[in-house]
Amino acid sequence: MTEKQNEKRSPLNRQQFLGIAWLASLAALVGEFVAATFKFVEPNLDMGFGGKILAGRVEEFLPGSVNLVQSGRFFLVRREDSGFIAFWQRCTHLGCSVPYDDENQNFHCPCHGSIFDEEKGEVVGGPAPRPMDIFPIEIIDGEVRVDTGSPIKRRSFSDEQIVYA
């Protein structure tokens, strides 16, 4: 069979085939470069305590619930009005880790007995000098993200501290 006959049978000649293969390789290379760049510039989540933590999706937290996010050392409280607030688990007295007291529905420090209420984190008993510190919350595309690198010390509670979806 002559080359001329071969060209008639095949829809692509060798030059066209090599051109398409070269373009496909180039497209794959550009795709990998774009994916790597996107990965590099996207916000870094779940770096652990001190960074931004992805707590979960809004619908995972029921109104009136207190949720410990261990990796971020905070309680994500979803109040009855559906607003969110994130309390640092650290006591504002001398820094002990404060557990949630299910029975009394508050936060009760085991070290010297400070008690903080569950919706505002305000001191309702004991020696703590100020409410529980909070972390900034962002809700993006239904995801609740908490920045544990920027704790906020408060003198008192205000409505601006609550974040809504």
Q: Report the residue number, 89 or 148, with the smaller CB distance to ligand FES.
A: 89
Told to check if 114 binds ligand FES by CB under 6 A, we report yes
Which of residues 14, 57, 112, 153 is near ligand FES by CB under 6 A? Answer: 112
Q: Report the residue number, 79 or 154, with the smaller CB distance to ligand FES.
A: 154
**Cα–Cα distance for residue pair 145/133, rounded to 1 Å:** 17
Told to check if 47 binds ligand FES by CB under 6 A, we report no
For residue 64, with 0-12 CB atoms within 10 Å meaning exposed, 13-18 middle and 19 or more buried, which class applies? Answer: middle
Which of residues 128, 134, 137, 146 is near ligand FES by CB under 6 A? Answer: 128
Starting from the edge strand earliest in sequence, which strands make up the sheet with 123-125, in order?
Answer: 100-101, 106-108, 115-117, 123-125
CB of 114 to ligand FES, least distance (A): 4
**Residues 6 or more apart from 162 whose CB is under 8 A from it?**
79, 81, 83, 84, 85
Told to check if 109 binds ligand FES by CB under 6 A, we report yes
Q: CB of 87 within 8 A of CB of 120? A: no
Q: Report the residue number, 106 or 144, with the smaller CB distance to ligand FES.
A: 106
Q: Report the residue number, 123 or 137, with the smaller CB distance to ligand FES.
A: 123
Q: Report the residue number, 89 or 161, with the smaller CB distance to ligand FES.
A: 89
**Cα–Cα distance for residue pair 154/49, rounded to 1 Å:** 20
Told to check if 127 binds ligand FES by CB under 6 A, we report yes
Could you give the string, one character per residue 56-95, with x where binding to ligand FES holds by CB under 6 A and - elsewhere? -----------------------------------x-xx-
Which residue bears the tokens 């949630």?
100
Amino acid at 149: G
| Count of CB atoms situated within 10 Å of the CB of 74 | 27
Residues within the interface to ligand FES (CB under 6 A): 91, 93-94, 96, 109, 111-114, 126-128
